[in-house]
Structures are given as structure tokens and as C-alpha cells.
Structure 1
């Protein structure tokens, strides 16, 4: 992806077009990423292998597997083990989603939503200031003519 100086003071006329093109490319990549993320499944398993949980990227539990021996555990111990393993599965799904996002978005200037907002605000402020200056020059030129 083509990059440019995101310093608002360095804003140039062509930067807005490049930002728009990069945003379009990013949206296309994000659409493909959405489908991949929907297929992500995280898994967690107890140390003894008696309890396994699978979780979708959305956080929805998709599978709980208990070995016959797990059914002989005290109910409180089994509940605790399920919670621990479910959290592991959730963490695994989250890590997989982050890895997918890193693969698709890489270190683009748009990978971090907060950074996008800050950068866009800076570019917009710089653009507005530049346009105000140019309008003032035009206004002054017309005033001096008359």
C-alpha cells in the first residue's frame, strides 16, 4: 500500500486522493477479512485433556466436549474447569483474529482505528487551514483589484 507523510503540516493536494484510494483498498481487504474471521474457532483444553471447549470469533461457545472421566468430577470442580477452558478458547480465538488482521492490514496507517481517527482529523485540519489561506489570498487579490 502506498504511504505518505501523515504529518498534517506536510499535507499536499494529492494526499486526499491517496487517502481515499487507500481507504477503498482497505475496505475491500476488510470485506475478505470479515469472512475469514467468521470461520475462526478458538479451542481450549484442560491439562488432563478431559475438558475441551471451542469458541467462535464472536465469543459464542460452539462445542463442549467432556471425556467420560470428567463426568466423575465434583460439579464445582467441573464448572471451574469449564470456565478456565472456555476462557482459553476465547483467548485463542481472539489471538487468531488478531493474527488474521495483522496479516491483512499489516502495518498500514489504517490498522489502528484510533490512529485513523487522529490522522484523519489532523489531515482534515491541515486541509481546512490550507484552503482558508488560499481563499484569503484570493479574497485579498480581488479586494486589491477594486
Structure 2
């Protein structure tokens, strides 16, 4: 009889339970992501920006802002948009950390470290290739035994 290594010790009930719990967390995360709104404003409150996953949703300009030079106003708008984007990013990171914890499964860790993502993809590819070779070798062995 062939050994199954660590696969023989897998607790299927726990695996299914964990997968179900993660699915529930993912569904809640999707709902939460839709409600996240990043906010930013200049130090005097002349420009206020709100953004979501879709981009800038609101832009409020105080009447005093309209008396500013266009270059100065543009700078305030860009700064407020950048602050709102950072706020939205922070909310998303917190939501993903709540859903996934600080584990290897948190996809936000790959946003800031694409090399880690590439490394994990290459490891998965290598595991797939090994499994494929094992399966094909086993099928070849069976074919030879059956003299096909």
C-alpha cells in the first residue's frame, strides 16, 4: 500500500469548517469594501474629497477656494485626493486584516511586496509541476502493468 504522507493526517471536517468560515468573512469583506469611503481635505478645509473603489465620489470646494490662483487650487485638490486615497487604502488594509488576519493568506501583503507574490506563484507552479509529473509517472506505470 502506498503512503499518503501528511495527506493521511488531514482533518477534513476542520478543513471544510475553516473554508466555510473564510467564505463568510470574504462575503462580509465584499460588503464592507463597497461601503469604504476615503476622506481627505486641505488644512483649512477649503477642499474636501471623498473617494471609493470607483474613484473620486465627492469634491467640495469652499467659496473661498474659488478666489485662489488655479495652480494653488489644483495643488490643494491633488493633496486632498491623495489623502483620501491613502485613507481608503488604510481602510481596505484594515478590512483585509480583519478578514484574513496577518497570515500568509492576506492578499494586501502582496500589494506592497510584489516579489513575495511572484515567489509564492513560482512555488505553486513548482508544486503543480511536481504533482503533474508524479501523476503522469503513476499513469505510465499503470499503463505498463496493463500492457496498454
Fold equivalence (TM over 0.5): yes
Look up the match of 1:110: 105
Distance in 2 between the 1:131 and 1:98 partners? Answer: 40
TM-score by length of 1: 0.66
Look up the match of 1:89: 84
Look up the match of 1:72: 67
> Are the counterparts in 2 of residues 53 and 85 from structure 1 also a CA contact under 8 Å?
yes
1:34 is displaced (CA, Å) by 0.6
- Runs of 4+ that moved beyond 4 A: 14-20, 115-139
Distance in 2 between the 1:31 and 1:50 partners? Answer: 38
TM-score by length of 2: 0.65
Q: For residues 122 and 13 of structure 1, do their structure 2 counterparts lie closer, same or farther at Cα, with a shift above 3 Å needed?
A: farther
Equivalence map 1:19-34=2 (5 Å): 21=16, 22-34=18-30
1:110 is displaced (CA, Å) by 1.9
Distance in 2 between the 1:19 and 1:107 partners? Answer: 20
Asked which structure has the greater RCO (Cα within 8 Å, sep 6+), the reply is: 1
Could you list the per-position Cα deviations for residues 47-103 of structure 1 after superposition, in whole angstroms to 9, with x for gaps in the alignment?
Answer: 1111110001333x1111111211111122112211111111011101110111001
Deviates more, 1:128-137 or 1:17-26: 128-137
Instruction: Extract unaligned runs of 5+ from structure 2.
Output: 111-116
Distance in 2 between the 1:118 and 1:11 partners? Answer: 22
Distance in 2 between the 1:136 and 1:16 partners? Answer: 31
The counterpart of 1:36, out of the listed 32, 39, 44, is 32
Q: For residues 116 and 127 of structure 1, do their structure 2 counterparts lie closer, same or farther at Cα, with a shift above 3 Å needed?
A: same
Look up the match of 1:47: 43
RMSD: 3.4
1:109 is displaced (CA, Å) by 3.5
Matched, 1:98 2:62: no
